[in-house]
Amino acid sequence: MDKQQAEGKINELKQQLEDYGYHYYVLDQPKVPDAEYDRLLQDLVQLEEQFPELASEDSPTMRIGGAPASAFKKVAHRVPMMSLSNAFSADDLRSFDRRVRQAVGDDVSYVCELKFDGLAVSLTYENGLLVRGATRGDGTTGEEITGNLRTVPSIPLRLKKPVSIEVRGEAYMPKQSFEKLNEVREEAGEEKFANPRNAAAGSLRQLDPKIAAKRNLAMFAYSIGELSGKTLTTHYQGLSFLDELGFKVSKEATTCQTIDEVISFTEKWVENRHELPYEIDGIVIKVNSLEQHEALGFTAKSPRWATAFKFPAEEVVTTLHDIELNVGRTGVVTPTAILEPVVVAGTTVKRASLHNEDLIREKDVKLGDTVIVKKAGDIIPEIVGVLTEKRTGDEIDFHMPTECPECSSQLDRIEGEVALRCLNPKCPAQIREGLIHFVSRNAMNIDGLGEKVISQLFSHELIADVADLYTLNRDELLQLERMGEKSVDNLLDALQTSKENSLERLLFGLGIRFVGAKAAKTLAIEFDTMDKLRQASANELINVNEIGEKMADSIASYFEKPEVDELLGKLKKANVNMHYTGVKPTENDVKVNSPFSGKTIVLTGKLHHWNRKEAQEKIEALGGTVTGSVSKKTDLVIAGEDAGSKQKKAESLGIDIWTEEQFVQTMEDLD
């Protein structure tokens, strides 16, 4: 076969395979048996290997997976991928509807869509050809994962029309694929994925696209970010256009003329969601008119023309067999319930936190009890109650120990705290958990040092503190279970790279009590070097913005310990950086880039995370103005517990209202 004949045959095979793939993965209407599709694909692979100059980016062979990437590049989204505000009840949905109608009038319709539980992605096409795929990231910047997204069969490599467009969608793992993947991982002795969402995200963040290609992922397209050469007037038109282009679009999306219809739609899927072959965790409600989108605009974090109705937590009944005790890095002893395995919100739950002894007493939990379990936010399992009427008399009271389960030291309850704490600084559990914290993503971010590897290093007595990580050598690491030459080389490279981290990462990684990531950065910017910080007194520390008395005392006490002096000496000897290397923001920079800049804000109700004065200071430091009354000039109301007339007035005026949780999350996102 000459080149011209090969080109004709390749084009013919590409067209056939695209058509078969579209019918199989998008329409769920297979046209040929799997074996026939595989045979044609192999023919195409062989032809492209014989004539590599004829291979193209839109070839179905790209779905097999290309060469591994060395790292993911950062991608700036031209149109931010914003998060949505949440609604948890019919009343919340009516409040959303009221705010919309007050802003744009009563001529409003909505589109209701399933909220897919996966990984939000952005796809960019130029003249119909896929040129880039990225994760949502923080909404402004994501990671380019084009190679991995090309392997997802329901993502078109070439559109049915040669348009230039940016499409948003949710990549997910069907339930059946998830179950098969976990079976394979279990047989291989690998840790199983907790749920399909984690499996999808983990698959698409593999550096080797061939791994993603084997995971049987899919994607639903749900919106258009940018579009050239075509004008749309409604969101539903956009969904129809995506369908015309060859995307997999949910057939469940529905237009609703009233908020009552919206509520009926949510009630339907609360009951029926587990019948779907994929996971959903709510319903997305969007104003249909794109002109009204423009009129409604955005808050600092989310569009005012959309909200996400979150499903109520599913509750199930199971048996509590035992209570296990775990010692954290700060010495807190946490009881964990060991349960008869039960499926909650789509995943199997075997354990649930009981938090502390007071909660066990309050809920009257006994070993052998029949308990009600739910997932807070459909994520964290917790015991919400006991079915005391199911008791047989064989149940056993549980009592917290007086000694640490790891080191047998006496446990103490510090005044004002509910938790029991081991105060032994040599407690192996605390050291091990401290090591795991030190290497974590928000601290020193050392790839390859997961919990299992840390536990191995610790049990083999290769490390006793965080500084010992930097003395590990190749021969020692190769002796560990499942540590091959490539893994060891990558780990040593990651350790070397981490030495260059800016001071705030090291500070956070040291695990000083009360010092989170935000405070660590504040301290690093203020003092610039570890030596200057160590010399600061508690009084000097209190004068630093956002450093309170408890934190200042904790920091000062930490640096007075001789073992800390020894540890920092070892880290210095290992050439770990102890200077702040980031850019120091000016006061003006902080204010200009703040979501509160130039805004008039009212605080109402009882706040728990900060008191009213602290919250006001934080807002004003970010360029906002806090006033005491709600008026038409108010831009935002932050409503705490038992918010009363001010919240009602804000609702009547259509003013944006945040919960305290939204406010705290926004402040944390600014760190």
Which pLDDT tens digit goes with each residue over 586-618? 555 555 557 888 788 999 888 877 878 778 878
Is the residue at 272 inside a domain? yes
Do 467 and 570 contact (CB within 8 A), yes or no? yes
Write out the catalytic residue numbers.
115
**510 in the same domain as 403:** no
Distance CA 556, CA 542 (A): 11
Helix count and strand count (H, E) for the chain: 25, 24
- Please tell me whether residues 245 and 274 are part of one structural domain: yes
CA atoms of 133 and 530, how far apart (whole Å):
41
Inside any domain, residue 286 = yes
pLDDT block averages, 10 residues each, the chain of length 671: 81 82 71 74 79 78 62 85 88 93 94 94 94 88 90 92 95 90 72 78 83 89 93 95 95 96 94 88 95 88 90 86 92 92 81 86 93 71 90 94 93 79 89 93 88 90 94 91 89 95 95 86 93 94 84 93 94 96 64 73 84 82 81 86 81 84 76 55
Does residue 143 fall inside a structural domain? yes
* Domain identity same for 538 and 646: no
- Tokens, residue 437: 């914290």
Q: Are 118 and 158 in a shared domain?
A: yes
Cα 246 to chain centroid, rounded: 29
CA distance 404 to 393: 30
CATH, residue 602: 3.40.50.10190
361: domain CATH number?
2.40.50.140
| Residue 90 lies in domain | 85-310
**Strand partners for 464:** none
Are 239 and 281 in the same domain?
A: yes
Provide the pLDDT for residue 28: 65
Question: Is residue 579 domain-resident?
Answer: no
Question: How many whole angstroms from its chain centre is CA 406?
Answer: 32
Same domain, 665 and 630: yes
Q: Looking at the structure, tell me whether residues 176 and 322 fall in a common domain.
A: no
DSSP E strands in 333-485: the ranges are 333-344, 347-353, 366-367, 370-376, 380-386, 396-397, 411-412, 421-422
Classify each residue of 505-540 as buried b or exposed e, where b means 16 or more C-beta atoms within 10 Å of its C-beta. bbbbbbbbeebebebbbbbbbbbbebeebbebeeeb
Residues 432 and 472 in one domain: yes
pLDDT of residue 392: 94
149 and 255 assigned to the same domain: yes
Q: Which residues contact 252 (CB under 8 A, 6 or more apart)?
A: 113, 114, 269
**What's the confidence (pLDDT) of residue 588?**
54
Residue after which a domain boundary falls, among 380, 412, 444: 412
Tell me if 543 is assigned to some domain.
Answer: yes
| 391 in the same domain as 404 | yes
Statement to judge: residues 163 and 233 lie in one domain: yes
Domain-embedded: residue 115: yes
In this structure, the answer to whether residues 469 and 499 fall within a common structural domain is yes
What whole-number distance in Å separates Cα of residue 50 and Cα of residue 52? 6
DSSP-based helix, strand, coil % in the chain, nearest 5: 40, 20, 35
Q: How many domains does the chain have?
A: 5
- Residue 38: how many other CB atoms lie within 10 Å: 11
137: left (phi over 0), alpha (psi -120 to 50) or beta: left
- Threshold 0.85, pTM exceeds: no
Of 569, 572, 542, give the one whose Cα is nearest residue 555.
Answer: 542
CATH code for position 298: 3.30.470.30
CATH code: domain of residue 41: 1.10.287.610
The CATH number of the domain holding residue 531 is: 1.10.150.20
| Euclidean distance between CA atoms 334 and 325, whole angstroms | 6
